[in-house]
Amino acid sequence: MITVVGSVNLDIVGTGKTLPKAGETVTGARLARHPGGKGANQALAARRLGAEVRLIAAVGNDDMAEEALKLLRAGGVDLSATQYINGETTGVALIAVSEEGENQIVVCPGANEALDPGDVEGMDIKHMMGVLEVPAATLLAAAERTTGFIALNLAPAMPVPPTLLERASLLVVNETEAAFYGDALHAPGRYVAISLGGAGAELWKDGAKITSARPPEVHVIDTTGAGDTFSAALTVSLINGKPPEEALRYAVTAGALACTRPGAQPSLPRRAEVEALLRG
């Protein structure tokens, strides 16, 4: 089983012709609400790709919590370690999107910031995935209880304890995050995956690039969720013992598929879809 330690959000999206300037009100936008949060996205992505998944997370004891968790619950993610916290709100991302695809995002972390190291006490964790939308101390506490593979998606980029990086089997970053962390990413025996958007991704080990892969051509509708899909697919593949080259190709293919549908969690592909595109 893979245990994901991460965030749960409800994404509230307003799409209109233009984005507001400071002090300006823009009307006529269309409203959509989607379950989100990088932890929840990666948990559901890994589950749809065939892994057994448990999510350690926190939501508020409010009317947004079940909406944020509904696709995880329907998808078979184990939510027994997901807490409802009184006095906290479920995490929310307020997203404004223009016709050209530009966006403005305000994240209200809410209960995500209340996920405490004590919340992982007593848990047996075989394999772990983590994201930086919850406290680093909680990720470290979970990593110290993990006996197998540890994958950390270092997003959003921020300073993290060196002791957390030292425990990682795999670090996943994009180009901006790779520049932020620099040489601290690389250590003997550790994989580092650098996603390059439409150009694909690179996989490094022991400080040297060992392989790269480009995604298949797809009709891109919405790139939301592609990075989370990539991270989950690469982690699942490496845990399952796939060779690095095959694992990276699988991951970029899964990420590309996530771009063919709107929304984050609704767009996450299933294993059969990825395998069919790889064969094609």
Q: What is the pLDDT of residues 144-183, one digit of tens each?
A: 999 999 999 999 899 999 999 999 999 999 999 999 999 9
Q: Is the pTM for the entire model greater than 0.95? A: no
Neighbours of 149 (CB within 10 A): 18
Does the pLDDT of residue 191 top 80, yes or no?
Answer: yes
Q: What is the pLDDT of residues 223-274, one digit of tens each?
A: 778 899 999 999 999 999 999 999 999 999 999 999 888 778 888 999 999 9
Q: How confident is the model at residue 4 (pLDDT cuts 50, 70, 90)?
A: very high
What is the pLDDT averaged over residues 12-27?
90
Side chain identity, residue 222: D
Contacts of 66 (CB under 8 A, 6+ apart): none
Does the pLDDT of residue 115 top 90, yes or no?
Answer: yes
Domains of the chain, start order:
2-7+38-80+116-279 (3.40.1190.20)
Q: What's the pLDDT at 96?
A: 87
What is the pLDDT averaged over residues 198-221?
92
What is the pLDDT averaged over residues 29-42?
93
Neighbours of 78 (CB within 10 A): 18
Q: What is the pLDDT of residues 77-112, one digit of tens each?
A: 999 999 999 999 999 999 888 887 677 888 899 999
Q: What is the pLDDT of residues 119-146, one digit of tens each?
A: 998 899 999 999 999 999 999 999 999 9
Distance, in Å, from the CA atom of 160 to the CA atom of 136, rounded to the nearest integer, reads 7
Q: What's the pLDDT at 220?
A: 83
% of the chain surpassing 90 pLDDT:
80
Strand partners, 174: 195
Q: What's the pLDDT at 81?
A: 96
Query: Catalytic residue positions?
Result: 228
Closest CA to 170 of 199, 130, 125: 130
